[in-house]
């Protein structure tokens, strides 16, 4: 089975999900759930994890967390193996409890965190386990919606502070009630099965973490690689070169310096091998043959001119392509 690509860095938000092996129950009784929550508290302290929301279902769980350190995989491995060992001893069982590796979605910011908290808290209602969310004891919902004092390891302020007015708990409760119409949109908005956030955030992650080589074991990585936007590279290069992209539409008015910057950007896109001359031409308002000439001319200039080549290499070093 293909591995999930993990993007890890200090301060990252995640939605984490793990299911029972062959969808078997991972909680057989309430004391199993109590044990898991006790381990969540230890997990938070041991690995410096901030936890914002959770729900424990029969055969899976959801967590919303922030890793203060770069330790998502390490901390989740500890949680999974520790709970499995204690669960197996308690229930006189053996073998794997969880279905492979945990699933994680990286979240852009606290606004997206709020949306996911609503989705997570509505799980028991969608599953038909309860008729009212307040009747479900194994989620963080009641701490948000009804002023119940949370455990020390559950951080509710980041989400509740997004509501104005005197009663943030009531506002959150009403938000969750309205959220029934938005349930499906969460997964539609998850990009590449990995990121919940804006396209700008996706582009930032690509520039920072994306390798330029495909990996057959990492389909999410390859999905992002395949959809790396030429426009994003172009805008970043223009910023670095202090080039006004609107001047592309006025080629006759370009100075020689502007043409040089334009040609550097053309060559940058061409050298990635990801974009056709036709695609590059569409971006610059040039024909297929004109792009070929520009690429050829830049190649000659870099061979003959050390300063020109150094300028290009400096540009390329600042852009993940």
Tell me, what's the pLDDT at 211? 57
Kind and range of the H or E run holding 217: none
> For residues 235 and 206, is the Cβ–Cβ distance under 8 A?
no
Residue-level pLDDT at 4:
60
189: number of Cβ within 10 Å: 14
Strand order in the sheet with 49-56: 49-56, 60-67, 12-19, 103-107, 195-196, 190-191
CB 260 within 8 A of CB 307: no
**pLDDT value at residue 276:** 76
Asked if residue 58 lies in contact with residue 25, where contact means CB atoms within 8 angstroms, the answer is: yes
How many residues belong to the chain?
A: 321
Domains and CATH numbers, the chain: 12-225 (3.30.70.1290), 229-317 (1.10.1750.10)
Q: What is the pLDDT of residue 5?
A: 62
12-19/103-107 β-pairing: antiparallel
Written as tens digits, the pLDDT of the chain (321 aa) is 445 668 899 999 999 999 998 889 999 999 999 999 999 999 999 999 999 999 999 999 999 999 999 999 999 999 999 999 999 999 888 888 998 888 899 999 988 899 999 999 999 998 899 999 999 999 999 999 998 999 999 999 999 999 988 899 999 999 998 876 555 556 556 776 778 888 788 878 877 776 555 444 444 444 555 445 677 788 888 899 999 888 887 888 889 899 999 999 999 888 876 677 887 888 888 888 889 888 888 888 888 778 888 888 888 888 765
| Chain-centre distance for alpha carbon 161 | 23
């Amino acid at each position: 089975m293909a591995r999930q690509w993990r993007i890890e860095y200090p301060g990252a938000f995640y939605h984490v999900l793990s299911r029972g092996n062959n969808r078997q129950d991972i909680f057989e009784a309430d004391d199993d759930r109590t044990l898991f929550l006790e381990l969540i508290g230890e997990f938070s302290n041991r690995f410096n994890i901030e936890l914002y929301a959770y729900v424990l279902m029969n055969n899976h769980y959801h967590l919303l967390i922030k890793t203060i350190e770069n330790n998502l995989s390490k901390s989740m491995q500890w949680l999974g193996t520790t709970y499995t060992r204690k669960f197996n001893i308690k229930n006189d069982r053996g073998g794997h409890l969880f279905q492979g590796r945990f699933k994680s979605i990286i979240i852009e910011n606290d606004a997206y965190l709020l949306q996911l908290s609503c989705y997570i808290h509505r799980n028991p209602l969608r599953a038909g386990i309860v008729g009212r969310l307040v009747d479900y004891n194994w989620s963080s919902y009641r701490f948000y919606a009804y002023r119940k004092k949370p455990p020390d390891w559950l951080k509710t302020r980041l989400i509740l502070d997004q509501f104005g007015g005197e009663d943030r708990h009531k506002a959150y409760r009403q938000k969750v009630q309205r959220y029934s119409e938005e349930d499906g949109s969460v997964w539609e908005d998850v990009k590449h099965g990995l990121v919940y956030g804006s396209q700008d955030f996706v582009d930032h992650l690509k520039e920072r973490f994306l390798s330029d080589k495909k990996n057959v074991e990492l389909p999410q990585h390859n999905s992002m690689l395949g959809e790396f936007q030429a426009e994003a590279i172009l805008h970043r290069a223009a910023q670095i070169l202090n080039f006004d992209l609107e001047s592309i539409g006025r080629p006759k008015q370009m100075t020689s310096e502007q043409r040089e910057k334009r040609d550097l950007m053309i060559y940058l896109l061409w050298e990635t091998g990801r974009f056709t001359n036709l695609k590059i031409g569409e971006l610059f308002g040039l024909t297929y043959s004109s792009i070929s000439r520009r690429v050829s001319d830049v190649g000659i200039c870099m061979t003959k001119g050390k300063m020109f080549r150094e300028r290009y290499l400096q540009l390329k070093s600042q852009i993940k392509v």
